[in-house]
Structure 1
Amino acid sequence: MSLCRRNLLRLGLALPAMPAFADTPALLMGTGAPGGDYAVYGPAWGQFAAAQAGVSIAYRVTGGSSANILLIEEGTAELGLTTVAIANQARSGTGSWTAGVKFRAFRALFPMFPSVLQIVSPANTGITSLDALAGQAIGIGPEGSSAANSVAQILGSVGVQPKAMVTGGYIRQLHDMLAGQLAACAFIGAPPLPAIARAAMTHNLSLIGFSAPEAEQVARVLPGMSPMVLKAGLFPGQRVGVGSVGTVNIAIGAASLSKDLAQAVTQAALDHVGQLAAAIGTAPHPCPVSSVTDVGITFHPGAAIALRRAGFDVPDKFVEA
């Protein structure tokens, strides 16, 4: 999907006049891999943010959540997208990707939308339950994505141990699954994840779910994860809701961003919630600030100003310069 200025105008999106930060160097935003929602949402938000703040924004295709935090931590990027579950790993130094380091250079800007774990397998494999994934090779998405950094823990918390968990691009891994090289794919994203939705249009896939006790067990073990439901009709032939687990996506910025700039790029998203949801094919789904602060993630002071003006409750103790 191309999100050039002309296309945004076609959608009826009023782009404000260029103001305020003309002397600011171009910002870099870490997004995500093709076939995932970050690859679309990031540039869509960036178009609005650039127009509202009067800055240039470039984009870096990454694996996703943890990769974007690392870009900000090393000073390469100023903006990015991640999930609450991965942000918690970064803050606490848990998760193998952190090597025990506690990352402090990023701040939350605004909650975006929920992402849900979507586990699919070709119907002809006969794999229809979590238990059946034991001893199998499964794809877990790009290196640096939320799934790549949490699926092992999610499955392990309910006693499921696949033989191998392989990272790779969404589109490529689904191709490998359909070719019989992987038994299933387990990706985290706004449902339906674009790559899965495309595959489901031409292939009969089984959607593998969690029981309520299994989902609650995952939530107990992994901060930032909670029980969620893949509602009926998301995928062809899906007649009932399927239980799963998921986390909330958040936009993040470098702590070093000025208060005014952080406020402007946050306000741009808050002013275009419906259009950003449409860009990834979901209905607007406001996520509470508490979904971020419950695991101790702090907001940029500029973002807090925009959020409070929009009616969000951002406690002072969760605002950090």
Structure 2
Amino acid sequence: MIRNKKIALILVAMMLVSVFVACQGGTKPAETPADKPAEGTEKPAEGAEKPAPAGGGEFISIATGGTGGTYYPLGGAMATILNGSDMGVQATAQATGASVENVELIHIGDAEVAFVQNDIAYYAFNGIELFEGNKYEDIAGLATLYPEVVQIIAAANSGIESVEDMAGKRIAVGAPGSGTEVNARQVLEIHGLTYEDLALADYLSFTEATDQIKNGQVDAAFVVAAVPSSAVTELATTHDIKLVPIAEDKANELIAKYPYYTYLDIATEEYRGFEGTVKGVAVQAMLIVNKDMDDELAYNITKNIFTNLDAVAESHARGKDITIESALDGMPIELHPGAQRFFDEQ
């Protein structure tokens, strides 16, 4: 009898526990893996339509570069211009990794306007060099802006007076996979040289290259940047250097083969110890959009930027180099019809 009572008590206890657990189950949150997004928060598909801005109007994201660079303040000024226009848009400048990333942002629809170097746009459109095997044929030009000069900096005692003199010398040709490295290779090629003709082709960034010139580890370096370049300015304050010119006939050969280059006078007086100008070549900073952008939108973006260049110039020193007259110099890809219409009216 006692044994039967114990069994009965155990059964009752088990039933009570079961009821208690069942009641608690309704309040326990469902477990979700930590790396699984909650429903409704999935990342939008690339190129998906963006929601309308809270204040009405169309979003215009301008992809620029790093916040300490040239593209970012210029892009900010352009966004301010568009916001103050009668276009009814909401424009912002987006800090990015610059040219290569910006091509991708236009391609996937995460930016409407982007700053790029025109040689990068050419490579992307044609699927060559840095974009080998991947053509971005959906990009179109809006305008070119200002020169990114191919500066060939040599130690004063290097014995280098021309590009041909680089044979047998130690040359910094740009960081691996950079646009500068491609520029260096192309300039040498037009002068009948390859890396094999050099004593050393050193793949260095601008800062590394100028440090190596200081240390006597390289004789010259390619620096592709707006003039004055901070890296060259700093080097010129402590060391005797020279800018190596490119002869006009060689520049013409270069432009004939690679149409994104332009020939220009480099104002050397912006560097300590220099006077006058040196002949050289440059690629161009430019604006691109998706070729499918509405013609009227592309027209109005171009019009508002180029009719307010004073405001652009106030944002950065390079802004003063942007003009309607030079806005198609070195255009490497097809101009967007909306931009074409604006320039045809001028």
Q: Shorter-chain TM-score: what band?
A: 0.7 to 0.9
Alignment of 1:79-94 (within 5 A): 79-93=113-127
Deviation track 1:66-118 (CA, whole Å, cap 9, x = no partner) reads 4432332244433212233333333333x321213332121111221233211
Q: CA contact under 8 A between 1:232 and 1:238: conserved in structure 2?
A: yes
Q: Which amino acid aligns with 2:172?
A: I
Secondary structure at 1:115 match in 2 = strand
How is 1:25-36 mapped onto 2 (pairs within 5 angstroms)? 25=59, 27-31=61-65, 34=68
Quote how far apart the aligned CAs of 1:263 are.
3.4
* Corresponding residue number in structure 2 for 1:166: 203
Q: Using the TM superposition, give the Cα deviation of residue 39 of structure 1 relative to its aligned residue in structure 2, in angstroms.
A: 4.7
How far did 1:158 drift? 1.0
Kept in 2: contact 1:72–1:106 (CA 8 A): yes
Structure 1 residues without counterparts, runs of 5 or longer: 1-18, 312-321
Return the match for 1:115 from 130, 138, 148: 148
Q: 1:86–1:149: 8 Å Cα contact kept in structure 2?
A: no
For 1:69 and 1:144, how far apart are their aligned partners in 2? 15
Distance 1:119 1:92 in 2: 27
Aligned equivalent of 1:153, options 179, 186, 203? 186
Distance change in 2, residues 1:207/1:307 (3 Å): same
Task: Give the number of the structure whose alpha-carbon radius of gyration is greater.
Answer: 2
Match of 2:3 in 1: none
Q: Equivalents in 1 of 2:319, 2:327: separation in Å?
A: 20
Question: Which one-letter code corresponds to 2:139 in the other structure?
Answer: F
Once the two structures are TM-superposed, the CA of residue 248 in structure 1 deviates from its matched residue by 3.3
Alpha-carbon distance, 1:252 to partner: 1.0
Aligned to 2:244: 208
Q: CA-atom RMSD, angstroms?
A: 3.4
Match of 1:138 among 164, 172, 176: 172
Shift of the 38–28 alpha-carbon distance from structure 1 to 2, 3 Å rule, reads: closer
Unpaired segments of 5 or more residues in structure 2?
1-52
1:154-193 Cα offsets, whole Å, 9 max, x none, are: 222212334325253x445434543445443312233223
CA distance in 2, matches of 1:182, 1:45: 40
Match of residue 14 from structure 1: none
Identity, % of aligned positions:
22
Letter in 2 for 1:223: P
Does residue 291 in structure 1 map to residue 329 in structure 2?
A: yes
Structure 2 counterpart SS, 1:266: helix
Q: Provide the rounded CA distance (Å) in 2 between the counterparts of 1:223 and 1:132.
A: 25
Tell me the TM-score normalized by structure 1.
Answer: 0.72
Q: Structure 1 residue 235 and structure 2 residue 268: aligned?
A: no
Partner of 1:280: 317
Deviations 1:279-316 (A, max 9, x none): 134744534455356x5x2223433344445x1xxxxx
Q: 1:164 to 1:304 in 2, by over 3 A?
A: same
TM-score (structure 2 length as normaliser)? 0.68
Matched residue count: 285
Aligned to 2:22: none
Residue in 1 that maps onto 2:304: 268
Kindly tell me: are residues 26 and 231 of structure 1, through their superposed partners in 2, closer, same or farther at Cα, counting changes over 3 Å? Answer: closer
Q: 2:221 aligns with which of 145, 164, 185?
A: 185
